[in-house]
Amino acid sequence: DVAGRVVAVVDVLRASSSIATALANGARAVIPGENSEAIMTWSKAFDRREVRLAGERRMRMIDGFDLGNSPLEFTREAVEGHTVLMTTTNGTGAIAAAQGAKEVLVGAYVNFSPVAAVLRAAARRGADVALICAGHEGQFALEDAACAGRFVRHATRRVAGATLNDAALAAMQLDRKFGDDRWGLFETSTHGQALANAGFAADLVACATLDAHPVVPVYQDRQVVRLGAPAEA
């Protein structure tokens, strides 16, 4: 149950990384959808020139869409000033499922420090903070858990009375094991291996770059916007 909690959704490979990249490069908002049919339906409410359709299934761009789920595709030239309608195998569903939380952030390594700072401020206020790992096709994802562990470690640093459950403690152990060796983490993880084998090794490099896009994506009114930016009407 996420009600009343400050939540960060973590999908390192690749939705969280791509969303942070899109917002850093000037996208007005990212609207997560369950499937391609929902995205196509929503797109009819927009001037087609104002939106970018983004999504993947089995790691590949959906036919008829403008973008896939590679952070390298979300360049300033591609997304600046546009609303991105997005569906992915793992991340967008996890974000939508967090609807109802007090606050929902989207975090990854590429925007780690600013998101960790918001979580730490929430923890110091006494808020109930939760990390949601998107996983991979309904299964545990090593890279999401390790990144979540890093968030837990930084968010609870010097926070008196912070209580961690076993999942948080286990995630912190994974973060300690891999540390800053994010390439080693991705080489070890099932999803990282699958992406590399599918020709997306460059995406792994992008997703491993700490604080490459220091923005705080916030999910509100069913869309993800950059913290401090107004939601789309």
Assign residue 105 the CATH number of its domain: 3.90.1560.10
In a domain, 53, yes or no: yes
Residue 212 is predicted with a pLDDT of 98
Q: In what order do the strands lie in the sheet with 217-220?
A: 60-61, 51-57, 83-87, 29-32, 223-226, 217-220, 103-107, 6-10, 129-133
User: Exposed, middle or buried: residue 102 (CB in 10 Å: 0-12, 13-18, 19+)?
Assistant: middle
- pLDDT at residue 230, rounded to an integer: 56
Claim to verify: residue 98 and residue 175 sit in the same structural domain: yes
60 within domain boundaries: yes
Looking at the fold, whether 111 and 198 belong to one and the same domain comes out as yes
* Phi-psi sector, 176: left (phi>0), alpha (psi -120 to 50), beta: alpha
User: Do 105 and 198 sit in the same domain of this protein?
Assistant: yes
Same domain assignment for residues 132 and 169: yes
Do 70 and 106 lie in one domain? The reply is no
Rounded CA-CA distance 148/146 in Å is 5
Series of mean pLDDT values for 10-residue runs along the chain (233 residues):
96 98 98 96 95 96 97 98 97 95 98 97 95 96 98 92 95 98 98 97 98 98 86 53
58 within domain boundaries: yes
Q: What single-letter DSSP state applies at residue 46?
A: S
Asked if 67 and 124 sit in the same domain, the reply is no
Phi-psi group of 4: left, alpha or beta (phi > 0 → left; psi -120 to 50 → alpha; rest → beta): left
Q: Are residues 66 and 143 in the same domain?
A: no
pLDDT for residue 231 = 58
Q: Identify whether 59 is part of a domain.
A: yes
Contact at 8 Å (CB) between 152 and 159? no
How many structural domains comprise the chain? Answer: 2
pLDDT recorded at residue 233: 45
Q: Is residue 230 part of a domain?
A: no
> 71 in the Ramachandran plot: left (φ > 0), alpha (ψ -120 to 50) or beta?
alpha
Q: Which residues pair with 83 in a beta bridge?
A: 29, 51
Residue (of 102, 138, 77) closest to 8 by Cα position: 102
Ramachandran angles phi, psi of 130, nearest 5°? -135, 145
Residues 101 and 181 placed together within one structural domain of the fold: yes
Nearest-angstrom CA–CA distance, 150 and 137: 23
Is 127 found in the same domain as 165?
yes
| pLDDT of 95 | 97
Residue 217 included in any domain: no
Does 1 fall in a domain? no
Specify whether 107 is located in the same domain as 73: no
pLDDT of residue 229: 62
In this prediction the pTM is: 0.96
Which residues constitute the domain of residue 24? 16-88
Q: Which residues have C-beta within 8 Å of that of residue 93, sequence separation ≥ 6?
A: 32, 34, 134
